[in-house]
Amino acid sequence: MNLPPLTQSFVLHFGEMGSRWGISRTVGQIYALLFLAEEPLNADDITEKLGFSRSNVSMGLKELTSWRLVKLQHKPGDRREYFSTPDDIWEIVRILAEERRKREIDPTLSMLRQALVETPATLGERHAQERMAEMHGLIELITRWSEDIQKLETETLIQLLEVGSKVQKVFEMKDRLKVVTGGKLRRRPRTEGQ
């Protein structure tokens, strides 16, 4: 490995983190390196800097491409492919969220929906089905919310995150003041939570 110190500790860290997630250590390192790089890198650059085999780098880039986490571009007069990450780090978050939804959430939701339309044979299965319904509801709620806020401008999204739960205060105020908002914020009939 042939990297300046700050870069190296970042790359090593994300290698380890990567292997706690689904991706392999080397894929994590490749992404970390690209994330920090000033300029797009080609596969040989990466091979040289990280010190593993050319074919491994090729596989890693293929995987990152399938996640849409790297962009491919060409330099004029150079046949090699250059890879980079989005400049806007929030774009990376968006893409990750979308891909994880596609790969993990959607299959889970469809498994749950399938289970929910079956007729439970026993009392235990009835209870299991209720638990699955709870989980289905939770996942749908979080997914919808996440899709919804991902459409916001980065600046707006940041604002929203910054106020966090204080936004709740605004709700209360709104209710108090009976401000009309075109029905979009209409309060649902209150159901007693568990």
Partner DNA sequence: TCTAATTTTCAGGAATTCCTGAAAGTTCGA
Partner DNA sequence: TCGAACTTTCAGGAATTCCTGAAAATTAGA
Site for DNA in 72-111 (CB under 7 A): 78-81
Q: Residue 16: is it exposed, middle or buried by C-beta count within 10 angstroms (0-12/13-18/19+)?
A: exposed
Instruction: Report the interhelical angle of 43-50 vs 25-36 (nearest 10°).
Output: 110
Q: Is the distance from CB of 79 to CB of 30 less than 8 angstroms?
A: no
- DSSP codes, 48-70: HHH-S-HHHHHHHHHHHHHTT-S
Contact mark string toward DNA, 125..144, x via CB under 7 A:
--------------------
What part of residues 88-107 is at the interface with a copy of itself (CB under 8 A)? 88-90, 93, 104, 107
Among all chains, which residue has been given the structure tokens 């009309």? 180
Q: Does 44 bind DNA (CB under 7 A)?
A: yes
Give the one entry of DNA, a copy of itself, none that residue 96 binds, where binding means its C-beta sits below a cut-off of 5 to 8 angstroms depending on kind.
none
H or E segment and range at residue 71: strand 71-74
* Nearest distance, CB of residue 155 and a copy of itself, angstroms: 4
* Residue 70 C-alpha from the chain's centroid: 14
44 or 125: CB nearest DNA: 44
Give the one entry of a copy of itself, DNA, none that residue 61 binds, where binding means its C-beta sits below a cut-off of 5 to 8 angstroms depending on kind.
DNA
13 or 54: CB nearest DNA: 54
* Nearest distance, CB of residue 24 and a copy of itself, angstroms: 13
Give the one entry of a copy of itself, DNA, none that residue 132 binds, where binding means its C-beta sits below a cut-off of 5 to 8 angstroms depending on kind.
a copy of itself
Distances (CA, A) of 26 to 20, 44, 57, 86: 12, 15, 8, 20
Give the one entry of DNA, a copy of itself, none that residue 62 binds, where binding means its C-beta sits below a cut-off of 5 to 8 angstroms depending on kind.
DNA
Among all chains, which residue has been given the structure tokens 């780090």? 89
List contacts with DNA (CB under 7 A): 19, 23-27, 42-44, 52-56, 58-59, 61-62, 78-81
